[in-house]
Amino acid sequence: MALNGNSSHVKSHRGGRNNRGSRGGRGGGGGGGHYSKFHSREPKTLPKGVDPNNPIIQQFQEHARILDEKNDKYERIVKLSRDITVESKRVIFLLHRITCEDDKPAVLGEAEIKLGDIRKRLWYYVASELVNEDPYKFLRAYTGGLQEYVEALSFYHYICYDELISWEKVQEELHFQRNAHRPKDEVKDPLDPKAAQARETIPTKEQTEDEDAGDSVSVAIQEEAHPEPKSDSSGGNTNLKGSTAKKSLQVLVPKTDFVLGLADLTGEVMRQAINFIGLGNTQACFDLMEFLHAMHDGFLDVGYRHDMRREMSRKINVLNHSLQKVENACYSINVRGSEFPSKTHLADLLLNSRESHVADPTGPMGDETDGPTDCDPYL
């Protein structure tokens, strides 16, 4: 299920399981993607003795259809969100492998590609699903992936630019533009029969509508690695009725979810600080502590206001522990640094400290394992 750096086809990376690369954004008709094909779109066989002409039965069939569409879409988004979570965690592990300045270009380059992949191969499809939908209706389905992605993205941003990423930048990342005949899907795997089917059924329904959902902002974001192919691609096999105007999609990033992702970032920053001690870079620890203090101040300001989710207070709790760990580390550096035969010894000590009631998933050398602090209740 890995997003291989070298694989460039959605198909192959999803190969091992049912392809649920949802091709259609709309709830209606056959555009719901492969998964929806499991649910017959014909009227259900009614139980014996039930009159299909009874208007009440017909109404309930309609209710069933509406509920099915919503549930199917929700499930598709949940699955994408899980993938996003996994891939984002991988980016974070990757970023933790930076040991010195020289490592940075290579690792950051790879991270950038991976983040781009998450965006194009996963978030794009979430955005497709959300076309003409109220994003808050499906927020629960993708908030887990979103928070994890914010964590990865902001960590990357921090290492690159030494600053905290803004909400606007994150929201921009999840903006997409789509050409009328969706060349991106077509170039992926022209031989795939499902894609061919999708090509035939989708474009007409979606591209003829020109009303704006109302939430999508028309900011144009160009794909970095794959510029939109201009009208070359296979314009022939789609029966386009509408214009070739670009359509704007986005995945809404509510500010609260963004901030929750930032809370997770602080955990990673803490780990990085400790890792750097082990690598002999004690100055980094102090720098990161300054950053954590700023984050802590910010959270104290907003974290306890009304309507906050329980999750927020839980994360602030974790932040407090992370901060304490780093503060203790800095203290140890100053007071006890000379006592230790090697820097790694000090790092070991700091990592194994158990002030935090939350189990610290990092091992002695800063090797990452998945820990309970990263679990998301929505998954």
Partner 1 sequence: MANVSEVFRDYAESIEAEHEVREKVRDKLRVIETLARESSAMLQHVHQPSGFAKIADITAQAERHLVDQIRPALAELSSSVPASQFYRYYAMFNYTLMRLCHLCSLIHFLKEGQLLTRAATAQDWLQIGQSRADGFYLEVDDYLGGLIQTSNELARFAVNCVTNQDFERPVQICEFLSTLLAGFRLLNLKNDNLRKKFDSLKYDMKKVEEVVYDLSIRGLTKSPPTGALEDKGTSPNPSQGTPNAEGDDGPVKPQDG
Residues contributing to the site for partner 1 (CB under 8 A): 44, 46-54, 56-57, 59-61, 63-64, 66-68, 71, 132-137, 139, 163-164, 166-167, 214-215, 255-256, 258-259, 262, 290-291, 294-295, 297-299, 301-302, 305-308
Least Cβ distance, residue 304 to partner 1 (angstroms)? 11
Least Cβ distance, residue 198 to partner 1 (angstroms)? 24
Least Cβ distance, residue 162 to partner 1 (angstroms)? 9
> Rounded to the nearest 5°, which phi and psi values hold at 284?
-55, -35
- How many of the other CB atoms lie within 10 Å of CB of 183? 20
Q: Which is nearer to partner 1, 304 or 352 (CB)?
A: 304
Is the separation of the CB atoms in 189 and 9 below 8 Å? Answer: yes
Select from 222, 225, 268, 262 the least CA-distant residue to 246: 222
Q: Which is nearer to partner 1, 137 or 241 (CB)?
A: 137
Q: Which is nearer to partner 1, 232 or 297 (CB)?
A: 297
Q: Which is nearer to partner 1, 70 or 188 (CB)?
A: 70
Least Cβ distance, residue 351 to partner 1 (angstroms)? 25
Least Cβ distance, residue 24 to partner 1 (angstroms)? 17
Q: Which is nearer to partner 1, 46 or 106 (CB)?
A: 46
Is the separation of the CB atoms in 47 and 87 below 8 Å? Answer: no
Give the residue ranges of DSSP H helices in the chain.
Answer: 10-13, 55-96, 104-117, 124-129, 139-161, 167-173, 183-188, 193-207, 255-278, 282-302, 310-336, 343-351
Q: Which is nearer to partner 1, 210 or 307 (CB)?
A: 307
Least Cβ distance, residue 77 to partner 1 (angstroms)? 14
> Rounded to the nearest 5°, which phi and psi values hold at 87?
-65, -35
- Residues 6 or more apart in contact with residue 19 via CB below 8 angstroms: 11, 34, 194
Helix (H, G, I), strand (E, B) or coil at 53: coil
